[in-house]
Structure 1
Amino acid sequence: MNASIDTLNRSAVSQVPLELLDSIEVGIAVLDRNFTVQVWNKFLENHSAKKVDFIIGHSLFDHFPEIEEKWLRTKVDPVFNLKSPVFIIWEQRPYLFKFACNRPVTCAAEYMYQNVTMFPIVDKDGNVERFCMLVYDVTEQALGKLGMEHLNQELKTASRVDGLTGLFNRRYWQERFDEMYKLCVRRDKPSTAVMLDIDHFKRINDTYGHQAGDKVIKMLAALIKRCVRETDLAGRYGGEEFAIILNDSTVEDARIVAERIRQLAQRLVVEHEGESINFTVSLGLAQFCSAFKGPLAWLECADKALYDAKESGRNQYRVYDTSQR
């Protein structure tokens, strides 16, 4: 049906019997250079709630304040000056007329998504004083495409994020860490790697159960999120172990962050099935050094510092001495 409309004799659109225009499930309007409405079919009447007798002879802009007059006049210029059709697609502009969606299939949308075609009506002298506007309801197609894009985004996020903590998972964190290492090599940036884990985590699982252990991990992840910036890189490295890259941060800057995490974790109380669970964390810090042979070497230094913190009594942080490299 849409194709038949586009192939109508454009010079005679306004001469088509009104019964035919009203039977087509496409909006059809004819306007002059001043955007005065001359034809307004049943589709437009029904969706706009503006009767034909009420709108004919009036400016389109008087009845539809959502349409930017300057923009539409500029958009339609080629119709008059070049005798060329103009198209508006929903990806560029969701709608021209803000019509509500009242069909069951499209009720999920707040408004009707529209594609609009505007073409010149050439008179017998070859002049263009009027144009025809076709308004297509493409809500179903738009929702389908938007739904697929949303699903793809959710799948993309799921492939990057750890389901329990909401932090990056190990695979994606490692990919980003490798990129950050290369950036540090090129710019010799003072970024710092932090490895941390929960002290005596097995004891928590054995005493309170694995669900309690998961809750502790989740609460610690939320605490870490509050302590780092958006430009930093925080991830769950495995089990109760976390890895953080503090971007553009010297080890002295990292000490402040590490101590904040340690103190907040020590004060945090996790409630589970009537039990109050306290825990502490240990942390290892290693600032980037140009002597590192690769990202793994950098991370291993932070891990060695974490091991030193645990060997020294836990609930503390240790800094790897890069002068040993």
Structure 2
Amino acid sequence: MDVAAVQSQLIERINSGVLVVDQNCCLLYFNRFMESHSLLQASEVIGKTLFDIFPDAPQRWLQRKIQSVFMLNTPAFSSWEQRQFVFKMRHARPVTTSSEYMAQNITFIPICSDGQSEPDKVGIIVEDMTDVFFYQQKLKDTLKELEEVSRTDGLTKVSNRRYWEERFRIEFETAQRYEHDLSLIMFDLDKFKRINDEYGHQAGDLVLVKATELVQQILRKGDLLGRYGGEEFGIILPNTAEKGAFELAERIRSQFSLLTMQHDNRSINATMSMGICQFDSRFTRFEDMVTRADLALYQSKREGRNQVTIYQA
């Protein structure tokens, strides 16, 4: 059996790239897989350096990797998870990924010529890991979506009550520990049952969505809006005293009262009532602030709706 011929045919036909370089990173071998994916012919590249052929390759990193194989006479490895690709080549997989380039595992193997104990060449094996990259990416995206769903209200897309209360507990404990300002706005839509009865529940849903969209546009990055239940919502305002909370609440209330919404060719106007509570060192739980902001909210309702009330002890 001609072992050399068998080896040559195997290397040409395996579904992995095989390159061989010398100590100057000049190419000595370039198999058919590499030709197919790089769109280069072996006859064009043999004798040239890796970096002439692949100018986008990480030159310093790749040189260090190859030199370490020569010096230590041991294999080295690079995973697609650490570096997505070393050689910029398009993948041929029938999948859609965020990258048009092949994800690669790279193995560097020392090669000793006959009769030598020290390597004078390095073999580089390129494995196409695009499928694994794609499915890992899909898994990561799915987990991110699930996390988002678990903390988001399905209708309004703001924080749901569970996540909102988790965040509020953290902000409350921070205010306790460091004596930071913290305010809470609780609000709900005035006569919301009448809107549902007169215009239908889809119209009621529309009003809830438009209200939260307007609030989100006004809030700062660190503020958090959450759906507390039904048509009631809460806004956590870190590092904000009651004066700032009142100004923000008035701005929201005023802009919403001027908003006209359209549903089934009918115009809908609505208002909201709001209550504010500022953190007090005598409070022991974040629920103490919710209770007091709710009391202020109900006072706004009793006094005619469409207004903002600050809780007074």
Check whether TM > 0.5: yes
Gaps of 5+ in 1: 1-13
- When the two structures are superposed, what TM-score results if normalisation uses the length of structure 1? 0.91
| TM-score, with length taken from structure 2 | 0.94
Query: In the superposition, relative to structure 1, how do residues 107 and 257 fare at CA in structure 2: closer, same or farther (>3 Å)?
Result: closer
2:217 paired with 1:226:
yes
The Cα shift of 1:149 comes to 1.4
Shift in Å, 1:71 = 2.2
CA 1:262/1:210 → structure 2, altered by over 3 Å: closer, same or farther? same
Could you say what the CA RMSD is over the residues aligned between the two structures, in angstroms? 1.7
Following superposition, the deviation at residue 15 of structure 1 comes to 8.8
Give the Cα–Cα distance (whole angstroms) in 2 for the partners of residues 219 and 34 of structure 1: 65
Which of these residues, 249, 263, 266, is aligned with residue 258 of structure 1? 249
Whether the 8 Å CA contact 1:201–1:213 is kept in 2: the answer is: yes
Worse-matched range after superposition: 142-151 or 241-250: 142-151
| Correspondence for 1:117 | 107
CA–CA distance in structure 1, aligned partners of residues 6 and 167 of structure 2: 63
Following superposition, the deviation at residue 244 of structure 1 comes to 0.8
- 1:115–1:135 CA contact under 8 A, matched in 2: yes
Q: Which residue of 1 aligns with 2:49?
A: 59
Determine if the alignment matches structure 1 residue 293 to structure 2 residue 284. yes
Q: How many residues align?
A: 309
Within 1, Cα distance between the matches of 2:266 and 2:228?
27
Distance of 1:85 and 1:95 partners within structure 2: 18
Check whether the contact 2:93–2:131 (CA below 8 A) recurs between aligned residues.
Answer: no
2:125 is matched with 134
Structure-2 separation of matches of 1:23 and 1:302: 73
The Cα of 1:77 is off from its aligned counterpart by: 3.1
Distance 1:81 1:314 in 2: 80
Q: 1 CA distance for matches of 2:85 and 2:104?
A: 5
> Take 1:121 and 1:59, find their aligned partners in 2: how far apart are those partners?
18
- SS of the equivalent of 1:28 reads strand
Where do residues 196-275 of structure 1 align in structure 2 (5 Å cutoff)? 196-275=187-266
* Cα deviation digits, residues 271-314 of structure 1 (max 9, x gap): 11101111111111111111012111111111111111111111
Letter of the 1:228 partner, please give it: L
Q: Which amino acid aligns with 2:22?
A: D
Q: CA deviation at 1:17?
A: 4.0
| 2:165 matches 1:169 | no
1:24 aligned to which of 14, 36, 39? 14
Partner of 1:9: none
